[in-house]
Structure 1
Amino acid sequence: MASSCFGGNGKKTKMNTTAQSNDKGMSLLNPKACPKSSCGQVPNDRKKFSVLNAEMCYFCFDVLYCYLHNLDAPGLPTFTNNAYPLFVTWKTGKDLRLRGCIGTFVATPLHSGLREYAIISATKDSRFSPIKLEEMSRLYCSVSLLLNFEDCVNCLDWQVGIHGIRIEFKNEKGHHRTATYLPEVSMEQGWDQLQTVENLLRKGGYKAHITPAFMETVVCQRYYTEKLAVSYQDFATVKGCETKPHNGFSNAHGPKPYALPTHVQNQTRKTDRTFPGKCGKHDS
């Protein structure tokens, strides 16, 4: 099932933090939320491991470019086709305004997953009009891979800027609902944990009054992400090194590694993994 990763239209939102409106603050829930023994600890096998590379972002640009030009889809990429939950985010302009962000929590082979969600996030995000061809030159694309899912003790058992969270709850009609924020969202909005969860409940369609008792019924998972972003200018520079069949950027001669500019090679080696020690700020 597809999910969007940001709330509203991507602008900062001031929240009415009903659920934290008492003198005890975080004691609304378990005062031992986010125990040191579990929350925020990076598994040893993740500290030196990076799945992402810039070709994944270029592939998303390639797919969108061909889609908007009504061209044949690009051939198979050369990066790994292992399966991961993933999100594709599009931003635009100098202010990096959100234009679409949709992904899936189902582990999906990267070749088909990025091909699918590059288009869905650009054209099917209900918060925005579909991206148009004339916007391409102003776009930034980021790919987020979701890793190391863990069940939380409660909905405070995670750290702002380190973890993404996925919540499950029943709305006022008893219907099961889910919603997620990537790790950078709470940082960008300036929210604490309770504000983040409350806003996420609203995003997920919960319209009733949010009480401390209801907050304790929310089921929460936390996860890490690996995230990398590139601009259209980077994409055009890379693809300009290749032949241009269809008068576009798609390589009609089968898979071929992208020739990365030096600054992008450096960025790839220093992929922004949203782990402790990283600010988690969205860089798309």
Structure 2
Amino acid sequence: MSLKIVIPGADFSGLGNPKVESLIEGLPADNLAALYLFDTGVEGAAWAGPAVDKSGFGRDAPLVAASTALKSAGGVNNGAVANEGFAVLTPVGISSKFTVFGVSRNNLPASAAVSTTLMPWSSSGDWAAPLAPSVSDGTAGAAAQATAGRFQLNQQNFVSTSTGNFAEMGVYATAANVSTGWAGATARQDVRNAAAAKGSWIAWALSFDAAVGYTLRGIGSSVIVTGAAADAAIWLARQTSVGGRHIFGAPAYLSDPDNVRGEMALAGIYDGVAKSVADMDVLLARVKTKLAARIGATIL
């Protein structure tokens, strides 16, 4: 039990004393809008959700239609047979600044012959039915591409000279009606670790600021896109107009016909703040510490 006293307007930073920090489940509490640990259910049994919100706000996230979900030791996966995956729809809307984070992995063995992509995070505004999405949606992750572009995290199973058979996580962000990325960057930019396999557990964080762009932090490196105000603002306007909300899980991008296998152990949202790289590093360090015992494996 501890007591924290806050004096409005007071600044004691000059004293050099350690800062008192509020935590929820061991993670920084300020601006935390939702936190999902995927720790409910019986291991090996079908998982019907919802993903219970541990932030204290009660923002539980129900399972998206047509999902295949099983409780695993690490969290929730979509089983041993490739399918269209699973996802949960949060009640937290897309805002002009946010930071999403999670721990997830690709469970489909890497292949040079089978190209699949799953999405650990996306917005329901980029799905055909923003308020009632389905993993069988053939445009999942790109429904608004022609008018507003697209923006998502994705993880490729495909092995090529560029992706290799190693751990990676990418951001796929395109401007409206074109295949080029925000601010002239390539459409898909990723972070990689050639020393670890594609199926590794990865802790990641993605910050978004409509006036600046995005930053993906994970696997010890960052992809930062700045000056994306026009593309980001167009994407944000679409999300706002259709009530786009944060989606987490392992659903197939475009309902990929080759299908996917993936797993998620934790996910969360900070609303109203695009965290800096330094702050995301602190967050991810805490996330890894929290999950190390449950996962029983190294988290990149």
TM-score (norm 1): 0.27
Structure (1/2) with the larger helix percentage: 1
Q: Which has the higher strand share?
A: 2
Computing the radius of gyration from Cα coordinates, the structure with the larger value is 1
